Structure 1
Amino acid sequence: MDPLFGDATIQEKARRDEQSRLDIIIVGGGLGGLGAAIAILLAGHDVTVLEAASDIGEIGAGIQILPNAARILFSWGLKDILEPHATLPRKCNFWGWKGNHLSEMDFHKYAHVTKAPFWDFHRANLLDGLLTRAVQLGAKVITNARVQDFTIGTKKSKESSATVFLSDGRTMTADLVIGADGIHSKLRGIFLGKEDPPIPTGDLAYRLLLSTECMMTDPELRDFVDNPQVNYWLGPSVHAVNYILRGGDLLNMVLLVPDDMPAGKTYTVEGGVREMRDHLEQWDPRLGRLAALCDSQSILKWRLCIRPALEPKWSDSSGAFTMLGDAVHATLPYLASGAGMALEDGGVLGLCLSRLTDKSPCSKRKALEVYEACRRERTEKVVQRGSHNQQVYHLPDGPEQAQRDVKFKIFQELDKEWLSEETPMLPNVQETGDDPFPWRYHGVARWLLTYDMWRDVDEKWAACSAPEFMREPLGHGA
């Protein structure tokens, strides 16, 4: 038994005959696209991943993987591939903007309860691990393959397939096309028949990586390296996050501030060190000293947007097209769950497609109905909670902020009492508590960290067989 993952099992690759093996195209080689490729390959289908860029790579910096997503990565056989690149933070701290300690969460104890770790990665390492596993399982990955358009059906197959049209003139047809092309998804607009840009949230993020070598002579900064933890600082309209990556070689630092980028379709620009430091003036001195190490670093500013819903459904009624990840439900990073939701999407879709016994449109429609029934409510809940956290984290100093900080302390004591029980358990329920520390028991832990995609698919698949389920609009009331 694995000490981190308990009795969780690794999925075996299914064998299929021609009558039930789908040819599937995934548009987008990011975390969601490659995760879906792995899950669908394990289900026994053939997968081609089309990536617009010249290689499979990830911009950005750090990423947090919570236990619900870590369990899925383990089930895909990725533990040995990813573990050498992972940091296991001991705990998570919330601080006031002046450096006063607000509250903490013991990640190691929660990992024991949830039977899965809290992992921190450099995004490039996580993506490379997913790519390695997808190729091991037989994925065909094509780069420089920008999809300009797609249609449902061909002259021969009518509505049982989809065809993608690439910018270089190539066309490809598959039994199922999956749009995993990110928050600025082109396929989403084509599917809807209109432009549908993501919605700005009023915030932007400065993201940077620091070599920890220059931190080691400062005792307070060195402690971030010697005792890997996730740290959040909350202040009026602004918050900051940092954590260690790559075995202590790098510090990931993110500063979230009001959006001052020019209006329009610009989403990423170079940021200045001076403007970042200005946001941190009079904050916890440790943050100021970290910012002072950024002189030679390039800093990117990212406009933060969301996609709160896709109506009326995610999939085409033919069963030949669907979407996942940020293309459908992009969220603020304030719940550390955007990537986790994309990985869950891929895992659920793979399990649904594993149940196919033929390639008929009816069978594919049912698989996509169950996929969306499993994913719509949960992902919308994550988007909503991320936006809620934006308000909670950015309260101005005053009575509401003081009340929030009291709650941090009250729920910390309740959390310690619960964890001190002989066998603490997290019930799998949909309740959200009042704890402003979102991942703890009295926050969203009971529905976020406990997600069991296998049970979810079992339950929804059985419900989908009932006539009353089939009469419900896709994704509503299921």
Structure 2
Amino acid sequence: MEPLKVVVVGAGIGGLMAACALVEAGQDVHVFEQSEMVNERGAAITVQPNSNVLLRRYGIEPEECGGTAMENIMMKDGISLNLLQEISDKVKAATVLEERSKKSYFVHRADLHGELKRKATGHGAVIHAGSKVESVDENASTVTLSDGTVVKADVIIGADGVHSRTRQLVFGEAYQEQPSPLSCFRFLVSSKTIQEDPETSSFIEKPGTMMDLIGPDRRIILYPCSQGEKLNVLPIVPRQVAEARGSRKEKLLSAFSTFAPSVQRLLEKAEEESIFIWPLFDMNPLPIWVKNSVALLGDAAHPFTPFLAQGAASAIEDAVSLAVMLPLGTKPAQVPARLQLYERCRKARVDRIQELSRVRGRDASGQRGKPPTGDEIFSFAMYCKQHDEYVHSTKFLEAFDVPLVPPTMGFS
């Protein structure tokens, strides 16, 4: 059987997961990434159970990427440090393998990105770094690179992030990301440095803990990564605070000057050059993700706020769903209909998680609406976590009575 030629625009986590899943399905995959892929930026991410189970299906184990298993979540008042709520993330399982599949892991983005790249290229995907896509023709099913090269494909996947050029070129200017009212700082600090200081050691005294320090209109999320050797720190503030004058560290310390002294002490440990500021973006649900042979994936289709830690997870789900819909034996003429199935399979779930994430991010200021209760937060998390997109997409495809090549169980 002839494989489909698949072009993936963008080599982030979603694009590389698409490459892994599609090359495993037997397709001919080429990934075009405008950067040179020398250094993957970003700090840590949470690999939730719904993405964990999919990564493992394709032979990628979070603990092999330096992942730290989540054991519990603590929510504290950022000013008094009074405990507001504590939620255990322990899971019940019959075997160690089942337990690992059901857990959440804190993973450095660069480590996961590197493993996805290794898996994809090791099984036949070709990554073209330094290759910027200038135009996409959904009718001719081609992409044109900045050097004038025209690449013909049977499938084009726009996995080029929140500022997606594929989305802009194919779906038009009307469907663009919008700045949210929030920005976040990100930095990593040595866990040893935190532990050796009596003023800050309480922030890592319980291994595997995610801590959410909550203020009236700002918060700080902390969790370990890199086998517990580093602490990922994610302060989230009103956008105007991050855009104020001053150095990044000055703005960071000023933003949390009313928080507990130990919190300020923690922030003081950040090195200026290690602090990044990321404006958060949002977007109303797109009416469509697919046009002819072009499909969007991940942030290109549905940027998320970070409050349910589902951005990378949903991109991974998208990638696996696409691979299920495009097994070896799919004819080029079938591609538009299969991509429509992908959209129908995924869109309702993603639209709901987008909205739940917005609600989860509401704070005591009430500026973005009434904050959710503890029970509501738990129900949001369960909706996200208790899902296997490989199984869901397989059943969805079968329901349309489309011949399906027997699924494989990952790389051999």
Scaled by the length of structure 2, what TM-score is found?
0.89
| Amino acid aligned to 1:390 | G
Secondary structure of 1:181 counterpart: coil
Tell me how far apart the structure 1 counterparts of residues 233 and 200 of structure 2 sit (CA, whole Å): 13
Residue aligning to 1:12: none
Matched, 1:216 2:187: no
Greater RCO between the two (CA within 8 Å, min separation 6)? 2
Tell me how far apart the structure 1 counterparts of residues 271 and 163 of structure 2 sit (CA, whole Å): 31
Tell me how far apart the structure 1 counterparts of residues 87 and 46 of structure 2 sit (CA, whole Å): 15
Residue aligning to 1:428: none
Matched, 1:359 2:331: yes
Note the 1:148-297 alignment, pairs <5 A: 148-154=134-140, 162-194=141-173, 196-219=175-198, 221-228=200-207, 229-260=209-240, 271-297=247-273
Q: After alignment, is 297-306 or 323-332 more displaced? A: 297-306
Note the 1:37-48 alignment, pairs <5 A: 37-48=19-30
Note the 1:308-327 alignment, pairs <5 A: 308-311=284-287, 313-316=288-291, 318=292, 320-327=293-300
Partners of 2:65 and 2:111 within 8 A in 1: no
Residue aligning to 2:76: 95
Which structure is larger by alpha-carbon Rg, 1 or 2? 1
Residue aligning to 2:380: 444
> Structure 1 vs Structure 2: percent identity of aligned residues?
28
Structure 1 unmatched ranges of 5 or more: 1-16, 155-161, 409-434, 467-478
| Amino acid aligned to 2:210 | V
Q: CA deviation at 1:57?
A: 4.0
Residue aligning to 1:368: 339
User: Alpha carbon RMSD of aligned pairs, Å?
Assistant: 2.5
Tell me how far apart the structure 1 counterparts of residues 304 and 290 of structure 2 sit (CA, whole Å): 20
Q: CA deviation at 1:78?
A: 0.8
Distance change in 2, residues 1:231/1:223 (3 Å): same
Secondary structure of 1:216 counterpart: helix
Distance change in 2, residues 1:464/1:308 (3 Å): farther
Tell me how far apart the structure 1 counterparts of residues 65 and 396 of structure 2 sit (CA, whole Å): 36
Q: CA deviation at 1:280?
A: 1.4
Partners of 1:271 and 1:301 within 8 A in 2: no
Q: CA deviation at 1:299?
A: 1.9
Equivalent residues, number: 394
Structure 2 unmatched ranges of 5 or more: 403-412
Distance change in 2, residues 1:455/1:212 (3 Å): closer
Q: CA deviation at 1:462?
A: 3.7
Tell me how far apart the structure 1 counterparts of residues 33 and 63 of structure 2 sit (CA, whole Å): 22
| Amino acid aligned to 2:69 | L
Q: CA deviation at 1:117?
A: 1.7
Residue aligning to 2:352: 381
Tell me how far apart the structure 2 counterparts of residues 40 and 270 of structure 1 sit (CA, whole Å): 46
Matched, 1:340 2:313: yes
Q: CA deviation at 1:116?
A: 1.8
Secondary structure of 2:112 counterpart: helix
Partners of 1:27 and 1:181 within 8 A in 2: yes
Secondary structure of 2:26 counterpart: coil
Secondary structure of 1:379 counterpart: helix
Tell me how far apart the structure 1 counterparts of residues 92 and 164 of structure 2 sit (CA, whole Å): 35
Partners of 2:9 and 2:160 within 8 A in 1: yes
Matched, 1:25 2:11: no
Residue aligning to 2:408: none
Tell me how far apart the structure 1 counterparts of residues 275 and 332 of structure 2 sit (CA, whole Å): 50
Partners of 2:248 and 2:272 within 8 A in 1: no
Q: CA deviation at 1:261?
A: 7.1
Tell me how far apart the structure 1 counterparts of residues 60 and 391 of structure 2 sit (CA, whole Å): 21
Scaled by the length of structure 1, what TM-score is found?
0.77
Distance change in 2, residues 1:241/1:358 (3 Å): closer
Matched, 1:55 2:37: yes
Q: CA deviation at 1:284?
A: 2.8
Tell me how far apart the structure 1 counterparts of residues 126 and 200 of structure 2 sit (CA, whole Å): 45
| Amino acid aligned to 1:357 | G
Residue aligning to 1:158: none
Tell me how far apart the structure 2 counterparts of residues 375 and 225 of structure 1 sit (CA, whole Å): 37
Q: 2:304 aligns with which of 331, 334, 340?
A: 331
Tell me how far apart the structure 2 counterparts of residues 455 and 334 of structure 1 sit (CA, whole Å): 26
Tell me how far apart the structure 2 counterparts of residues 84 and 49 of structure 1 sit (CA, whole Å): 22
